[in-house]
Amino acid sequence: MNITASTAWKAIEAHRLSSSPVHLREMFARDPGRANALSLSFDGILFDFSKQRIDSTTLPLLTALAREARLAEWTDRMFAGERINASEDRAVLHVALRRSAGPFPAGNLDVMSEVLATRQRMAAFADTIRSGNALGFTGMPIRNVVNIGIGGSDLGPKMVGYALRSMSHPALGVHYVSNLDGAQLAPLLQTLDPRTTLFLVASKTFTTQETMLNAQTARDWLVANLGDAAAVANHFAALTAKPERAVEFGIRPDAVFPLWDWVGGRFSLWSAVGLALMIAIGPHAFADLLAGAQRMDEHFRSTPYERNLPVVMALIGIWNTNFLGATSNAVLPYNESLKYFPSFLQQLEMESNGKSVGIDGQPLACAANPIVWGELGNNGQHAFFQLLHQGGRLVPCDFIAAVRSDYPLPGHQEALLANCFAQSAALAFGKTVDEARSELSRTLQPAALAELLPHKVFPGNQPSSTLLLSRLDPHTLGALVALYEHKVFVQGVIWGLNSFDQWGVELGKAVANSILPAITNAALAEKLDVSTQQLLAFSRQHLA
Ligand code: F6P
């Protein structure tokens, strides 16, 4: 369906046109109850969206849009295990991975026995390593674990592993390698002892070029150093939906942990792909992470749209993108431990909804996902926030902070929170000409004041939401990630696209394969475009 032709869409458009643009400053002045009215909380997460450019009539109009897009029907279809990923003919059941019991989704289509059995095997494997009972080829205990994967087989466990590093096993090193550039793997190998290192090859397809090349190099390094190809059996495990390919690689069948075609890569953190994370934080903390996500799943399924965190978050995104014209969305964690959250979200959102063709194969009638970008907020303040404050662009922001810290240095947490709250307030309310003039008049003569005045005005009205967590523990983090996952799903439904395929990444892979032989063989470059030929010629010259 063309959502822009729907009654709800037209009503929202009419609402936007009829309500004269009111500055956030004025919206707050008019309604002292605004912060409370435009906030939701759930399981230790406060979601304050009062600094978005909406009024009390906007949200009901947006929820009508969700209804008209048949969100409830699509949600039921996803949770029922229907093959809603049409272009890949797959079900979308990552929510099953958070559950602790079956049957699910239904008696005749129960995936839970496999899910629970795999989780149990993962826990046993993780415990053996954590206890020092997992021995390498020479009889020494495993002390370092290297996850080799990319995209969804890297970003999720790495992001959560860093977020929860305060609870990491103290005697184990857990590392992540994703990049084809040897500058990531080579220096890491220099620090590792092959006798005590375990490699986890994380790849749903077990064909991804980056992962397979890194895994092969790690294998060669191991065999060269331990002097026996049989060592691979003690030092490699695989997390994959293609177990036969892992076994072919030389990995013991009992060290292969499955996932299934109904788990999308960017939703696979909760599956065997989370093994490195489970080894780091332990099966109990991993179970808490799953429990937090499952709570969000239940909230998403059972809460009326007006009070439903993922739905409201998604609808605000639709409002900003499709009605206010925002083209990007900044993710700004005021929490060092969420350092990798922006890049995790980039894959989750842009690989899911970065599309312009609908699920029906027709061009979308409206823009879909904005560009997601971001950085630790406090660092960003001293880098790119200038543009957010005075650059004249509409950039909705997600501020994320946790009240309690795992690293409570005196005064740090208070200052961090103050900065987070100050930035969203400054972006929303700005500084008027009158305020700036009255400030400057205390120290400047009229001529100097007039010169400086335009530079000291902050237009404000920059919309943001703040997600304030009581603390960043496994449960709350699980809920936070599931919140964004469902937000992505809701937006995909409204835009009418398939959030679960990613055909757009294929072309570059195919072109890379055709260019690879021409890096060393000039004759093979002749059919390529002249720019690529020039790049290849320069490379050959310097490689030589
Ligand atoms: O190229 C994109 C992608 O397919 C992602 O969707 C996926 O997370 C990543 O590559 C890694 O894929 P795999 O787990 O199969 O190695």
Band of the pLDDT at 86, cuts 50, 70, 90?
very high
Which residues fall within 8 angstroms of residue 247, CB to CB, at 6 or more apart? Answer: 253, 256
pLDDT tens-digit profile of 377-422? Answer: 999 999 999 999 999 999 999 999 999 999 999 999 999 999 999 9
Atom of ligand 1 nearest to the CA of 266: 8
Which residues fall within 8 angstroms of residue 81, CB to CB, at 6 or more apart? Answer: 91, 93, 105, 106, 109, 111, 262
Q: What is the pLDDT of residue 112?
A: 97
Q: Answer whether 65's CB lies under 8 Å from 8's CB.
A: yes
Average pLDDT over every residue of 344-350: 98
Indicate if the pLDDT at residue 464 is higher than 90. yes
Q: What is the pLDDT of residue 1?
A: 79
Band of the pLDDT at 19, cuts 50, 70, 90?
confident
Indicate if the pLDDT at residue 278 is higher than 90. yes
Out of 210, 349, 351, 375, which one is annotated catalytic?
A: 351
- Residue 105: is the preceding peptide bond cis (ω within 30°)? yes
Average pLDDT over every residue of 252-257: 98
Average pLDDT over every residue of 3-24: 94
Two tokens, residue 177: 């390698």
Average pLDDT over every residue of 304-312: 98
Q: Answer whether 176's CB lies under 8 Å from 158's CB.
A: yes
Gap from CA of 310 to ligand 1 centroid (Å): 25
Gap from CA of 133 to ligand 1 centroid (Å): 32
Gap from CA of 265 to ligand 1 centroid (Å): 6
Q: What is the pLDDT of residue 223?
A: 98
Gap from CA of 155 to ligand 1 centroid (Å): 11
Which residues fall within 8 angstroms of residue 177, CB to CB, at 6 or more apart? Answer: 146, 147, 148, 184, 185, 188, 214, 218
Give the DSSP H or E segment for 365.
none
Give the closest residue to 435 by CA, choosing from 419, 450, 456, 420.
456
Indicate if the pLDDT at residue 456 is higher than 90. yes
Tell me if residue 389 is catalytic: no
- Residue 454: is the preceding peptide bond cis (ω within 30°)? no
To test the ligand 1 pocket, which listed residue (88, 208, 216) has its Cβ within 8 A of the most ligand atoms?
A: 208
Output the DSSP codes for 37-104. HTEEEETTEEEE-TTSS--TTHHHHHHHHHHHTTHHHHHHHHHTT---BGGGTB---GGGGG-SS---
Residue with tokens 């003919």: 89
Q: Answer whether 361's CB lies under 8 Å from 186's CB.
A: no
Average pLDDT over every residue of 41-66: 97
Gap from CA of 227 to ligand 1 centroid (Å): 32
CA 395 to CA 250: how far, in whole Å? 49
Out of 10, 412, 509, 527, which one is annotated catalytic?
A: 509
Q: What is the pLDDT of residue 2?
A: 92
Query: Terminal CA-to-CA distance of the chain, rounded, Å?
Result: 56
The pTM (predicted TM-score) of the whole model is 0.98
Helix 474-495 / helix 71-79 crossing angle, nearest 10 deg: 120
Which residues fall within 8 angstroms of residue 533, CB to CB, at 6 or more apart? Answer: 525, 526
Output the DSSP codes for 422-462. HHHHHHHH-B-HHHHHHHHTTT--HHHHHHHGGGG-B----
Give the DSSP H or E segment for 144.
strand 144-148
Tell me the pLDDT of the chain averaged across its residues. 97
CA 497 to CA 491: how far, in whole Å? 9
CA 259 to CA 26: how far, in whole Å? 52
Band of the pLDDT at 491, cuts 50, 70, 90?
very high
- From the CB of 147, is ligand 1 less than 6 Å away? no
Provide the percentage of residues in the chain whose pLDDT is more than 70. Answer: 100
The upper half-sphere exposure of residue 136, i.e. CA atoms within 13 Å in the direction of its Cβ, equals 21
Long-range contacts of residues 538-543, Cβ cutoff 8 Å, at least 24 apart: 543/519
Two tokens, residue 409: 């240095």
Tell me if residue 351 is catalytic: yes
Which strand ranges, in their side-by-side order, compose the sheet holding 397-404? 39-42, 45-48, 464-471, 397-404, 328-334, 371-374
pLDDT tens-digit profile of 183-242? Answer: 999 999 999 999 999 999 999 999 999 999 999 999 999 999 999 999 999 999 999 999
Give the lowest-confidence range in 196-205, 349-358, 512-521: 512-521
To test the ligand 1 pocket, which listed residue (204, 245, 267, 271) has its Cβ within 8 A of the most ligand atoms?
A: 204
CA 318 to CA 329: how far, in whole Å? 11
Average pLDDT over every residue of 106-117: 94
Strand, helix or coil for residue 190 = helix
Q: List phi, psi (to 5°) of 80.
A: -90, 0
Q: What is the pLDDT of residue 53?
A: 97
Q: List phi, psi (to 5°) of 390.
A: -130, 10
Q: What is the pLDDT of residue 215?
A: 98
User: For residue 269, with 0-12 CB atoms within 10 Å meaning exposed, 13-18 middle and 19 or more buried, which class applies?
Assistant: buried
Indicate if the pLDDT at residue 21 is higher than 90. no
Length of the chain: 544
Band of the pLDDT at 332, cuts 50, 70, 90?
very high
Q: What is the pLDDT of residue 374?
A: 98
Q: Whose Cα sits closest to atom 8 in ligand 1? A: 152
Indicate if the pLDDT at residue 20 is higher than 80. no
Indicate if the pLDDT at residue 133 is higher than 80. yes
Q: What is the pLDDT of residue 356?
A: 98
Band of the pLDDT at 35, cuts 50, 70, 90?
very high
Q: Answer whether 337's CB lies under 8 Å from 84's CB.
A: no
- From the CB of 266, is ligand 1 less than 6 Å away? yes
CA 23 to CA 31: how far, in whole Å? 13
CA 178 to CA 159: how far, in whole Å? 13
Indicate if the pLDDT at residue 431 is higher than 80. yes
Indicate if the pLDDT at residue 160 is higher than 90. yes
Q: Answer whether 92's CB lies under 8 Å from 262's CB.
A: yes
- From the CB of 152, is ligand 1 less than 6 Å away? yes
In 10 A of CB 117, how many CB atoms?
A: 11
Band of the pLDDT at 253, cuts 50, 70, 90?
very high
Tell me if residue 382 is catalytic: yes
The DSSP call for residue 363 is B
